[in-house]
Amino acid sequence: MKKTMIMIFLLTVAITLLTAQEVEPFEPEMEQTREIQDSTETKVSQGYKYQRKSALTAMLLSSIFPGSGQFYANPHSITAYVFPVVEIALWAGYIIYQGKGTDKEDEYMKYATDETVTVGNSTGPRYSRLYQEMVESDLTMQYPNDIYDESHFRLDDNNTQHFYEDIGKYDKYIFGWCDWYDIYAAHGIDWAWFFDDPDDTDPKSWIGNYPTKPGEDTTEYDAPYSAMRSEYNDMRREAEDLYQTADMLTFGLVFNHIISSLDALRVTRQYNSEYISQAPYKMRVKTAMVNKNITPVLTLSYKF
């Protein structure tokens, strides 16, 4: 996530720089005025003071913190206060949803391996590595030429992120869930197999188990299923949804930075244009009739 945020920030600044390089020079009226005003950036006349604002500076400021460029160009601009509010709201949402995702992640991890429950005659965590190893060992000894050998099972030895993903995602790791073990393995194991041809000596794959717990219907096999694993996967999906919402808010942050930097350009140009128009000196090119010919004329006006 940190790498993503850094890359997004750098992309925002790069877009700002490229945009600013294209638009910065386009201020012809201001440039004309600057020639008349002794080529200084600060213009003073009859109590009138104006300092030209840099579009590049404004865009860079807003790309770093939205609204700061608008405040630099014109503190009276409403967007100088709108963009910071949006930024704070997005960050607050990101922190909240990221925190909720972390809490839900801790919850499903605790549910699987850190809580002690009693199922049947056994007491222990909902997911037991011992049960998983016992049942997969039995499976690997069923047929010598099937795909089920030690290399088929690669559950991490430690409680890593991959471990918590695998026990919910793959059927081959269902054996460790204690409710499955109680019904299909605690009283013996009866495997259900799929054969391409009834005459085949080796099956194509394992497809389920017949219940061996007393009182259960043993005439039909069941596909791999565990109610505990199903509840566990629901919690994992909730955590993923919360993290995805947090990720979407990061894209909102990027969008806010980009839009703010572009709006800073608008505010800067508007500010420069409005204040240049108030300068006492103005130079314009007009047309006039001279000897019955239309001739361009350079005019200079001064406002008293």
pLDDT at 36: 36
SS (H, E, C) 223-261: CCCCHHHHHHHHHHHHHHHHHHHHHHHHHHHHHHHHHHH
The single residue listed with the structure tokens 């000196």 is: 281
pLDDT at 197: 74
Window from 33-37, 81-85, 110-114, 160-164 with minimum mean pLDDT: 33-37
**Cα-based distances in Å from 43 to 5, 275, 281:** 42, 10, 10
Window from 62-71, 102-111, 230-239, 290-299 with minimum mean pLDDT: 290-299
DSSP state of 147: S
The percent of residues above 70 in pLDDT, for the chain, comes to: 75
Residue 300 CA, distance from chain mean position = 56
Average pLDDT of the segment spanning 9-16:
63
Q: Do 180 and 174 form a contact (C-beta atoms < 8 A)?
A: yes
Average pLDDT of the segment spanning 23-47:
43
3 confidence band (pLDDT: 50, 70, 90):
low
2 confidence band (pLDDT: 50, 70, 90):
low
Rounded Cα distance, 220 and 288, in Å: 102
pLDDT at 30: 41
pLDDT surpasses 70 at 218? yes
pTM over 0.85: no
pLDDT surpasses 80 at 300? no
Average pLDDT, the chain: 84
Residue 142's DSSP bridge partners are none
Q: Tell me the pLDDT tens digit for each residue of 80-91.
A: 999 999 999 999
Q: Do 104 and 246 form a contact (C-beta atoms < 8 A)?
A: no
pLDDT surpasses 70 at 162? yes
Q: Which of 229, 224, 225 is nearest to 111 (CA)?
A: 229
3-state helix, strand, coil in the chain (%, to 5): 55, 15, 25
DSSP state of 1: -
Q: Tell me the pLDDT tens digit for each residue of 87-143.
A: 999 999 999 999 999 999 999 999 999 999 999 988 999 999 999 999 999 999 988
pLDDT surpasses 80 at 158? yes
pLDDT at 29: 42
Window from 36-45, 230-239, 245-254 with minimum mean pLDDT: 36-45
What is the domain partition of the chain in residue ranges? Answer: 2-99+241-302, 128-176+178-225
